[in-house]
Amino acid sequence: MATSKETWSVRHSPSERKMSERVSAISISLDPKPSPYSFCLKTLSQSFKIFPRNKRIFSFIFALLALPLSFLNFLLSLSSYPIKSQIFHLELLASRAPTRFEARQVWKESREVALSLLHIKLLYLLPIYFLSLIAAITVVVSTESTYNRRPTNLKIIFAAIRSTWTRPLVTSICIYAILLLYTSIPYSLAAMIGSYSPGLRFVIWLIGLGVELYLIAVLGLGLVVSILEARFGLDAIRIGSRLMEGRRICGWVLSGLLTVMTGGIGRRMEGLIMDIEDSADESKWTVAKGWERAGLVGLYGLVIIWGFAVTTVFYCECRKRQNGRVVDEHDHESVDS
């Protein structure tokens, strides 16, 4: 006796059976989308699974790129902290000077010290920027290849650096310009309000922080787009923003998580630097403190790699979802026709 499925196949034409299969595929693909919480957990878990699949490549990136980059950031903080303290001290003296003449003299000295701080930052700028750019390209290319189960080796990575470095270079310049323009807005609003409404100043700071985290998420996705696709500059950032449609909350949460981690490590580094500068007794510095500083440098290097990996996995998930949505729309049109 024939089954119901065989009976249905006999009674209907091949075109009707094909249409039914398309409708079934569409109904499966249109399942309710996961919540932002579950999507964030999926992205984080996928990013952790990336590293064991390609230990050799990521160990190479950590040793030759992420660790020197972290160490340079630590040296920059160590070099600039005493100058920042001196500038803060001079500004405090200028605000309390009894006469305008003395205040102008102190402000002049403060500007000269600030110029020396600018020179130090410019000295570190090129090596830090170079290592950041190369680290971004290598981690993004390695993560995307590993995520899609494609083979990855040093030859492929070097070829990717040679062929793509101009696109993320232009995009990173646009990113820095956008962040520089945006960060001036909350400070300008707070200065306009003054000290008359502390509550309103806090609300402006809170809203500005939330918008900045979202902006960082979009810009980070745009940087990944410029590495993996033939896009660069504002066009890559626009594509990154479009990819985040339906996943903006998840991108905002991931950006906040990475910001909290890097900020916590940075604050701890600054605390150790303050201890170094404020302590006159070298005997207080034990081997444990030295290991803590070395551990923070290594941890910051790991967070750099993990941050690029998380953003790349987030890009892959968003791109896969968008490609699936395009296929669904095409199938809908085919069924309607």
Decide: 223 and 205 in contact? Cβ < 8 Å.
no
**What integer is the mean pLDDT of 291-318?**
90
**Least confident interval from 20-34, 122-136, 209-223:** 20-34
Comparing CA positions, the residue from 68, 229, 66, 59 lying closest to residue 152 is 59
Residues 6 or more apart whose CB falls under 8 angstroms from that of 218 comprise 237, 240, 241, 244, 251
**Least confident interval from 113-117, 175-179, 256-260, 301-305:** 113-117
Q: pLDDT, tens digit, for every residue of 159-216?
A: 989 999 999 999 999 999 999 888 877 777 766 665 566 677 778 788 888 888 999 9
What percent of the chain is modeled with pLDDT above 90?
32
Residue 42 has pLDDT above 60, yes or no: yes
What is the Cα–Cα distance from 35 to 315, expressed in whole angstroms?
A: 17
Decide: 76 and 128 in contact? Cβ < 8 Å.
yes
What is the Cα–Cα distance from 38 to 28, expressed in whole angstroms?
A: 19
What percent of the chain is modeled with pLDDT above 70?
77
The predicted structure's pLDDT at residue 26: 41
What is the Cα–Cα distance from 4 to 158, expressed in whole angstroms?
A: 58
Q: Where are the domains of the chain?
A: 38-274+288-322
The predicted structure's pLDDT at residue 178: 92
Residue 235 has pLDDT above 90, yes or no: yes
The predicted structure's pLDDT at residue 135: 94
Q: Band of the pLDDT at 25, cuts 50, 70, 90? A: very low
What is the Cα–Cα distance from 221 to 227, expressed in whole angstroms?
A: 10
**What integer is the mean pLDDT of 101-118?**
79
The predicted structure's pLDDT at residue 82: 79
Comparing CA positions, the residue from 135, 321, 155 lying closest to residue 227 is 135
Best-predicted range by mean pLDDT (11-25, 196-210, 269-283, 305-319)? 305-319
**Least confident interval from 186-195, 197-206, 265-274, 301-310:** 186-195
The predicted structure's pLDDT at residue 118: 86
The predicted structure's pLDDT at residue 34: 64
Decide: 137 and 312 in contact? Cβ < 8 Å.
no
What is the Cα–Cα distance from 218 to 236, expressed in whole angstroms?
A: 10
Residue with the larger pLDDT of the pair 289 and 238: 238
CA distances from 234 to 81, 223, 231, 269 (A): 35, 10, 9, 34
DSSP string for residues in 211-243: HHHHHHHHHHHHHHHHHHSS--THHHHHHHHHH
Best-predicted range by mean pLDDT (115-124, 192-201, 221-230)? 221-230
What is the Cα–Cα distance from 48 to 45, expressed in whole angstroms?
A: 5
Comparing CA positions, the residue from 197, 303, 216, 295 lying closest to residue 256 is 216
For the stretch 292-311, what's the b/e string if a residue is b when 16 or more beta carbons lie within 10 angstroms of its beta carbon? ebeebbebbbbbbbbbbbbb
Residue with the larger pLDDT of the pair 37 and 253: 253
The predicted structure's pLDDT at residue 324: 61
What is the Cα–Cα distance from 312 to 291, expressed in whole angstroms?
A: 32
